[in-house]
Structure 1
Amino acid sequence: MFLTLATDLAGAGAPASDFGFLLHKNPARPQGIEITGGTAQVFYPEASNDRCTAAVLLEIDPIALVRSRRGKAAEGFTLGQYVNDRPYAASSLLAVALGKLFRTAMNGRCDARPELAARSIPLEIHIPALPCSGGAELAEQLFAPLGWTVDARPVPLDPEIPSWGHSRYVDLRLTGVLRLADALNHLYVMLPVLDDAKHYWVGPDEVDKLVRAGEGWLAAHPSKELISRRYLAHRRYLADTALERLAEADGVAEPEVASDEGGPVSLAVERRTTVAAVLKELGARRIADLGCGEGALVGELLKDPMVGELIATDVSARSLISAKRRLHYDDLPDRQRERLRFLQSSVTYADHRLTGLDAAVLMEVVEHIDPPRLPAMAKSIFQSARPGAVIVTTPNREYNPLFPSLPAGQFRHPDHRFEWTRREFHTWATAVAELYGYTVKFRPVGPENPELGPPTQLALFQHREKVSG
């Protein structure tokens, strides 16, 4: 298997050979790693100030692949395990090699050239032999929406006998101006999708891999159902789980902010770490995550040993099942499972099981509620449950023009019933606090624009008796 990645870093103000820093592979020193059934090597056919090309060569031993018990015989072909196209054609084996060779680059990290890692650069990718179950048209369908110019040419079965027609392989060339991390994640997902086969067992952990690699682009892809289904080997329950998790993500690419380690993190991560920090600041030990979705915040809060009881609720039973899977609930230590409860519950109806808590969180929940139901939601939480503190986060509509992928006038997610400006959010929160005996303070979440404010706004409600006490 063979693949090349090339750039001239036009307009980046850096020599093209700096591509080696982004890939974390020295152009002057070929490197290799062992993977299941073979060896992957990285070398540079060219590395000058004007142009740099990195090549990945994956050599597969079909016998070693079979001995690893991961080979798959071709149907109706006894020697299919040993005589096949795996040594020559790009497949999930190459995707695994890319993930191991360029793990840091796929995460967008480059301490030596951080500004270059965050920038879109001109890229050319060439895969001479790519199995494409669906033909060249499918390659165009999958890569074009991601910003690539696609040149997929069918490979003939025999160049000397044109009448035999085309094989199932294409010679694929992609050109575009993208972040290197995005390009590598596109390849990592699409190679097995186009081949429509994987060389290893596909289990629930593959959902995590797909959602992680697809962050920022897969949720908005017009063919996300096909991609999820093929990537997860047509296991419907896994594909449904992946689609649920993707549907809960914002429908637009969110900005990145600096983490404590200096690298970029997504706004979704910034939201939940901010909420966790506020809860820690409050000293809350009994907490409910109302509308927990896939359980991202729950997973964050479980890291804090000071949290004694954690209740995760959602109106959707399927979301609760998805959250349990994501958190590997059945495999958690007994102490962790004792701290955590899952309840099917609606935020618009009083639920006696949620009374007496230190804090309740509605993280990106209120905008999914029809406006006429907001008073019922406020009554059920602030009057019936009456926790010591309530944290609410919601999108700031004023910030939306700064999302380049969000068409003007549209909400960030198709299920949003509304999105508030800062003034509208302040007005609603202040009225609720006055009505139910709470104080309220506001905090920004994410990079704050001087005129438009932060992408996410947070309100911290505290019961007046708790504050005075």
Structure 2
Amino acid sequence: MLLTIATTYSPATDLGYLLHKHPNRLQTFELSFGKAHVFYPEASTELCTAALLLDIDPVGLVRKKGGEGLEQYVNDRPYVASSFMSVAISQVFGSALAGRCKDKPELAQKPIPLTAKLAVVQSRGGEALLRSLFEPLGYVLTIQRHTLDDKFPQWGESSYYTVELQNTIPLQELLSHLYVLIPVLDDEKHYWVGEEEVDKLLRHGAGWLNKHPEQKAIAKRYLKRQGRLVRSALTQLVDELDPDTTQAQHEQEEAVVEERISLNQQRLAAVIAALKQCGSSKVIDLGCGEGKLLKALLQDKSFTEIVGVDVSYHTLEIAQERLHLERMPTMQRDRLKLIQGSLTYRDKRLCGYDAAAVVEVIEHLDPPRLAAFERVVFEFAKPNTVVLTTPNIEYNIKFETLPAGKLRHKDHRFEWTRQEFQNWAHKIAEKFGYSVQFLPIGDEDLDLGAPTQMGVFSKNYV
């Protein structure tokens, strides 16, 4: 049973610090079901690969259970990634799984390019299940399915796969995803599942499972279909505090700061003008909140298909109510769709639109999440046009109700100067094949600029 994790982060050998395992040493760990070996097949400044190899004792396992019969000794358990691998990740890579790195603590939270390879995993649900579990988390998958027996091709394909997962995320997130999803794929666990498994699921699923479109299936398989435990986990996932669920309160706070200059109305007008100028008819509003932009888009018949996306179910319910969706004329209602989803996880539903609007959203993201957002929007969804707005922190001193040194409201993780925004936008445009134009929104101050800055990204075509 083999798992490898590789990175091209420079210097790549920093992977050893993250895993707390030196690249020049072979280390062996005694586990209740056998041994785990950690070694590095390659370790250079350009590429470093760590391997976790499990040497499971199947005879010892059967004897512990008091089993009899040859079939209990002859099975796939020593070779196929399963809950044994999850336990090994927890015990051997425990510090990395917890997000701790003694020598380089800042690196533990930094998104780095990672490639994980499971030599053999059983997917009781086929390739479709593999993709539905990992692609929403932003992974690019390379999948090889194995035949039952090369000498007897007529027997057909097996349920065993070799899977390679690529993503740019903190190592802790990769390990958390593997810890939870490997036994979900296998749909089995080698130990008793009780209340403590709910705690493990919630702990290692924190920050991503409550947003995952397959959260119900994940909970069901992880908890071995024990209804009471599944219901407990799903209830706690719904109740889990998510910054986006407080969006209504934060929008109100921001409105109080900006109301004197009617900035929100100017912002919506500028976004719509940019969308019309690029000739978009199919528009997706990423982080639509309570639907203010959606309402304005509906009033213009040139927008024939309008989709609002938000991570919060509650916020979408408010949007539906404020848009009077149930009482809307049929032809108008058919132009609009609301979907729940996160902007940091790959989602096929975000693809196929002429333009995406991202209005006052990115400043609500933690900086380590920006890389995931960038890939989701510009690499995977890749609309022809992206219209993105964000506050200009330089202008904040002109708001009389805003204390000195404070961001525009509590949920902002950052606010950029004009130069910082332009540096970020140019980098993204170059990386993903776009050009970008910058436009001010609101009255411009000669020294401080405008209160809101807008970037209009246009896809380059050869």
- TM-score, normalised via structure 1 length: 0.55
- Superposed displacement of residue 68, structure 1: 3.1
Pairs within 5 Å for 1:163-174 = 163-174=154-165
Where 1:32 maps in the other structure, the secondary structure is: strand
Q: Please, which runs of 5 or more residues in structure 1 have no aligned partner? A: 254-363, 372-393, 420-447, 457-469
- Superposed displacement of residue 46, structure 1: 0.7
- Superposed displacement of residue 79, structure 1: 2.6
Residues 118, 163 of structure 2: 8 Å contact kept: yes
The worse-fitting range, judged by mean Cα deviation, of 109-118 and 46-55 is 109-118
Q: Which amino acid aligns with 1:46?
A: E
Distance 1:200 1:146 in 2: 27
1:3 aligns with 2:20: no
Residue of structure 1 in register with 2:312 after alignment:
413
Distance 1:86 1:240 in 2: 29
Where 1:84 maps in the other structure, the secondary structure is: coil
Q: Structure 1 residues 226, 412: closer, same or farther in 2, change over 3 A?
A: closer
Distance 2:84 2:33 in 1: 9
- Superposed displacement of residue 152, structure 1: 1.9
Q: Which amino acid aligns with 1:407?
A: G
Residues 220, 251 of structure 1: 8 Å contact kept: no
What whole-Å deviation, never above 9, does each CA across 1:271-295 have from its counterpart, x for those lacking one?
Answer: xxxxxxxxxxxxxxxxxxxxxxxxx
Where 2:42 maps in the other structure, the secondary structure is: strand
Which structure exhibits the higher relative contact order, with contacts defined as CA atoms closer than 8 Å and separated by 6 or more residues?
2
- Superposed displacement of residue 453, structure 1: 3.0
Residue of structure 2 in register with 1:246 after alignment:
237
Q: Which structure carries more helix by proportion?
A: 2
Q: Structure 1 residues 414, 68: closer, same or farther in 2, change over 3 A?
A: same
Q: Structure 1 residues 141, 30: closer, same or farther in 2, change over 3 A?
A: same
1:32 aligns with 2:28: yes
Q: Please, which runs of 5 or more residues in structure 2 have no aligned partner? A: 256-284, 291-309, 320-403, 413-462
What whole-Å deviation, never above 9, does each CA across 1:213-271 have from its counterpart, x for those lacking one?
Answer: 00000001000000000000010110110001110113568xxxxxxxxxxxxxxxxxx
Where 2:211 maps in the other structure, the secondary structure is: coil
Residue of structure 1 in register with 2:64 after alignment:
68
Distance 1:82 1:248 in 2: 44
Q: Which amino acid aligns with 2:4?
A: T
Where 2:118 maps in the other structure, the secondary structure is: strand
Residue of structure 2 in register with 1:153 after alignment:
144
Distance 1:72 1:140 in 2: 36
Where 2:72 maps in the other structure, the secondary structure is: coil
- Superposed displacement of residue 418, structure 1: 6.7
Of 55, 60, 81, which residue of structure 2 is paired with 1:90? 81
Residues 250, 409 of structure 2: 8 Å contact kept: no
Residues 22, 117 of structure 1: 8 Å contact kept: yes
Residues 131, 169 of structure 1: 8 Å contact kept: yes
Pairs within 5 Å for 1:8-407 = 8-9=8-9, 14-69=10-65, 78-251=69-242, 407=287
Distance 1:232 1:38 in 2: 24
Q: Structure 1 residues 399, 41: closer, same or farther in 2, change over 3 A?
A: farther
Where 1:170 maps in the other structure, the secondary structure is: strand
Residues 20, 95 of structure 2: 8 Å contact kept: yes
Q: Structure 1 residues 72, 169: closer, same or farther in 2, change over 3 A?
A: farther
RMSD: 3.0
Where 1:59 maps in the other structure, the secondary structure is: strand
User: How many equivalent pairs are there?
Assistant: 280
- Superposed displacement of residue 180, structure 1: 0.5
Distance 1:119 1:19 in 2: 12
Q: In percent, how many aligned pairs have the same letter?
A: 43
Residue of structure 2 in register with 1:436 after alignment:
none
Q: Which amino acid aligns with 1:183?
A: L
- Superposed displacement of residue 396, structure 1: 6.8
